[in-house]
């Protein structure tokens, strides 16, 4: 089971706004989802972007997070499959701060609240790149190269650690 950090959505938003034209790619992704009438199905509109858009040679990958009790209707995901979109649902947990009622609610030795895992749904979508029309091919290739560089760097970090965890990663 995947364990999300509480700031996964904030990190995705920072990435989205820090690189020019990623917003245009995300708008095209949203237009594709809207034109596919995905938002007619229950709870699809309530998703929060936690990863992406990751541009690859033939795909654009995005991941949305939903509250556990607000799982999007899987029929909506089936609406996208005839277009070649791959949709996966995954149960995950997200760390969230507990409410502070008394001093024992803090992490020991700090003034930070205790973190508690909460169940969420992650919906991973691999959308064919042909549905992103407004952004030119050279720009998409630039982000594709950056994604490959990031994957190579992550592989090197993971291979350097004896237990398969990235060096400096907290042990869970």
pTM confidence score:
0.73
Query: What pLDDT digit, counting tens, does each position of 81-138 carry?
Result: 999 999 999 999 998 888 888 888 888 888 888 888 999 999 999 999 888 765 555 5
In the chain, where are the structural domains located?
Answer: 2-97+113-157
Rounded to an integer, what is the distance from CA 99 to the centroid of its chain? 26
Rounded to the nearest 5 percent, the helix, strand and coil shares of the chain are 45, 30, 30
Please count the CA atoms within 13 angstroms of the CA of 99 that sit on its side-chain side.
1
């Amino acid at each position: 089971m995947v364990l999300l950090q509480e700031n996964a959505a904030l990190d995705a938003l920072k990435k989205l706004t820090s690189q020019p034209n990623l917003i245009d790619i995300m708008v095209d992704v949203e237009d594709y989802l809207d034109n596919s009438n995905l938002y007619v199905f229950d709870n699809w509109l309530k998703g929060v972007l936690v990863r992406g858009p990751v541009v690859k040679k033939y795909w654009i990958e995005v991941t949305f997070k939903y509250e556990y009790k607000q799982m999007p209707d899987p029929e909506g995901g089936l609406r996208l499959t005839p277009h070649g979109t791959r949709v996966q649902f995954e149960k995950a947990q997200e760390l969230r701060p507990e409410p502070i009622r008394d001093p024992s609610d803090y992490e020991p030795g700090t003034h930070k609240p205790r973190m508690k895992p909460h169940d969420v749904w992650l919906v991973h979508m691999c959308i064919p790149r042909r549905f992103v029309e407004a952004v030119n091919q050279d720009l998409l290739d630039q982000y594709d190269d950056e994604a490959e560089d990031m994957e190579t760097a992550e592989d090197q970090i993971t291979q350097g650690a004896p237990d398969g965890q990235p060096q400096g990663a907290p042990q869970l």
